[in-house]
């Protein structure tokens, strides 16, 4: 398959007591190439552009630091399972080698605090075995969702195997979800729609974390909710994703909310480094 480019627009809004504490918009361009093997697909992902279009000035230095920190992942060679989902990173060794170079540069810019040491130790772990990191990252999860299978066209939403979500409010805890799916077909276009909500029978750990760490500060009782709408459009003529639109709202109580939206779109022209 000839390489194509995708635009990824990510917005994040973290609200505390009605104020946007973290409010950002980022544009990413990926060059993507897919090759079919005998037992799997082999994909190449090259990040061509990463632009922080908007962020509060107080957070910009941290965002730019994290951009440099994660630069070893700018080029990835991935083995993809037949149904989708990342099975293996084929260039893991070169990712780690690049991390060692980035680490040298960052070390020269940092102090010698315990927190800074822990950040670098986290990099040693993440870039020596990056598969868990990619599976937790929402952009990679959206792009490499397990979607390649047979579908029944339906006029209504039906329960399917549920997703899990890594909470952005509760220390990376997994949130169990109840998921419904609807599939529509119009000529050569296939739309796959999902809608997920938290399984409120499985949030005891979240309530425990809230009561121990957030309740005194927020002055509200725990009132968790989560919703996730997700829609894909595929071109069946060449089995290619045209777009993905994801909207997530997570709420610990009315005073603490996390909202994020992702729009992934196939684009025509080549994008060069700027």
- CATH number for the domain that contains residue 234: 2.30.230
Residue 274 lies in a domain: no
- Euclidean distance between CA atoms 33 and 38, whole angstroms: 17
Residue 208 lies in a domain: yes
Residue 272 lies in a domain: no
Confidence of residue 239 (pLDDT cuts 50, 70, 90): confident
Q: How far is CA 49 from CA 9, 29, 75, 222, in A?
A: 12, 5, 12, 40
Whether the per-residue pLDDT at 259 is higher than 60: the answer is yes
Confidence of residue 91 (pLDDT cuts 50, 70, 90): very high
pLDDT of residue 269: 60
| pTM of the entire predicted model | 0.91
- Euclidean distance between CA atoms 47 and 90, whole angstroms: 17
Q: Indicate the number of domains in the chain.
A: 1
Strand partners, 198: 177
Length of the chain: 274
Domain extent for 79: 4-267
Whether the per-residue pLDDT at 183 is higher than 90: the answer is yes
- Euclidean distance between CA atoms 173 and 193, whole angstroms: 25
- Euclidean distance between CA atoms 136 and 166, whole angstroms: 7
């Amino acid at each position: 398959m000839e390489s194509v480019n995708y635009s990824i627009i990510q917005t994040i809004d973290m609200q505390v007591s009605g104020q946007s504490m973290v409010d950002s918009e980022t544009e990413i361009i990926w060059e993507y190439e897919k090759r079919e093997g005998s037992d799997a697909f082999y994909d190449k992902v090259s990040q061509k552009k990463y632009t922080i279009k908007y962020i509060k000035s107080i957070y910009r230095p941290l965002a730019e630091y994290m951009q440099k920190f994660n630069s070893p992942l700018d080029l990835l060679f991935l083995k993809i399972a037949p149904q989708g989902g990342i099975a293996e990173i084929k260039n893991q060794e070169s990712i780690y080698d690049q991390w060692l170079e980035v680490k040298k540069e960052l070390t020269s810019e940092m102090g010698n605090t315990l927190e800074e040491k822990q950040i670098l130790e986290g990099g040693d772990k993440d870039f020596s075995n990056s598969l868990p990191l990619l599976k937790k990252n929402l952009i990679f999860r959206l792009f490499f969702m397990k979607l390649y299978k047979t579908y029944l066209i339906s006029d209504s939403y039906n329960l399917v195997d549920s997703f899990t979500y890594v909470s952005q409010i509760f220390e990376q805890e997994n949130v169990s979800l109840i998921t419904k799916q609807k599939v529509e077909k119009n000529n050569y276009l296939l739309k796959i729609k999902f809608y997920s909500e938290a399984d409120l029978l499985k949030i005891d750990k979240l309530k425990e974390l809230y009561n121990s760490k957030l309740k005194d500060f927020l002055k509200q009782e725990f009132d968790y909710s989560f919703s996730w709408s997700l829609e894909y459009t595929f071109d069946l003529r060449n089995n290619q994703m045209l777009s993905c639109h994801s909207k997530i709202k997570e709420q610990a109580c009315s005073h603490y909310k996390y909202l994020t939206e992702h729009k992934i779109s196939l684009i025509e022209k080549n994008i060069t480094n700027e």
